[in-house]
Amino acid sequence: MTWENHSLWLEFVFLSYPTKPHLRVLTFLGVTLVYIFVITGNALIMGAIWTETRLHMPMYYMLGSLSGIEVCYTAVVVPHMMANILQSDRTIGLLACATQMTFLIGLGSADCFLLAAMAYDRYAAICHPLQYPLIMTLTLCGRLVVASVTVGLFLSFQLAVFIFSLPFCQVRGIQHFFCDIPPLMCLLCSNSHIHELSVLVAATLAIAVPFFLIAASYAFIVNAVLKIKSAAGRQRAFSTCSSHLMVVLLQYGCCAFMYLRPKSSFNPKKDQFVSLIYIFGTPLLNPLIYTLRNNEMKGTLGKILSRKCHLRNN
């Protein structure tokens, strides 16, 4: 038995939401609170970079773009999650599920590509400081951001078209909070290794390739930093890169666990926990990591917040 895949009336049901009323209320409040922090933190970063002229540099433009992608990334999933927590009908149509997955994977992939671009920026700044203004121009920065989003969405669109063109089995319950690749692959009637390999190739292009570019960039960075004679200079160089490395490890660790493994290893409970980390944890920690470890960002945010408090008091 298979469903008619091309019917827009086909629906999936999410099975992982709490059913007890008190758990639903607590979950809704928790998700709402974290979502507010995510939006506020990333909006403050974008606002600081937009308003402060001394932050109009490629590094900060890419950081602001990363925050913008994080806001859009969470907006694809979290509002729908909040609605599902409160309502008893937790269904989603075929087209809506495909759209959600396309933008979720596309913006997540754009995150990965943009982190690789930020690693290249740090490589150019540390390994070629004299040529840095000529290498990393604002024009190149804008092109890297646009290319990251375009390639990410292109890969995810191809992947979504491929998955949703395959036959789904009669069981339509998704053991997850949203439409993601691993739980949807478990609903496919076809068990062909070619299908699984195709998904793995797409995930490798979006995750492993940018990660290797980041690793290569930091290999050159470490080699250049170790040649610095001044201990203070080495510490300053490592400090500018440590926050980026923390974000990279968090982002790529979760993505690799979710997508760079065979379908047979899918574990609903464990995968749901990891998915919450990269849906909420990464967008929430990115502003904290970058602002708390960057004196210029902290100073600018302090000015913005003090200015708002002054205006309210007046």
Q: Tell me the domain boundaries of the chain.
A: 11-313
Angle, in degrees to the nearest 10, between helices 94-127 and 231-259: 160
Classify domain 11-313 at the CATH topology level: Rhopdopsin 7-helix transmembrane proteins (1.20.1070)
What pLDDT is attached to residue 280?
Answer: 87
* pLDDT for the residue 304: 65
> Among 212, 210, 190, 200, which residue's Cα sits nearest to residue 265?
200
Residue with tokens 């979720």: 104
**Cβ 210 vs Cβ 260: under 8 Å:** no
Alpha helices of 128-230 — where are they, by DSSP H? 132-135, 138-164, 181-185, 193-203, 209-226
Q: Please spell the DSSP secondary structure of 58-124, one letter per residue.
A: HHHHHHHHHHHHHHHHHHHHHHHHHHHHH-S--EEEHHHHHHHHHHHHHHHHHHHHHHHHHHHHHHH
Structure tokens at 138: 């604002």
For position 72, what pLDDT does the model report? 93
Q: What is the distance of C-alpha 40 from the center of its chain? A: 17
Phi, psi (5° rounding) for residue 213? Answer: -65, -40
Tens-level pLDDT at each residue, the chain (314 residues): 344 444 545 788 898 888 888 888 999 999 999 999 999 889 888 888 888 777 788 888 988 999 999 999 999 999 999 999 988 888 888 889 999 999 999 998 999 899 899 889 988 988 888 899 898 988 999 999 999 999 999 989 988 888 888 877 766 888 889 998 888 888 877 665 776 777 778 777 788 888 888 888 888 888 887 777 777 666 766 666 777 777 788 778 777 777 777 666 667 778 888 888 888 888 888 777 776 666 667 677 677 666 656 556 55
pLDDT of the residue at 222: 82
Question: Tell me, what's the pLDDT at 100?
Answer: 94
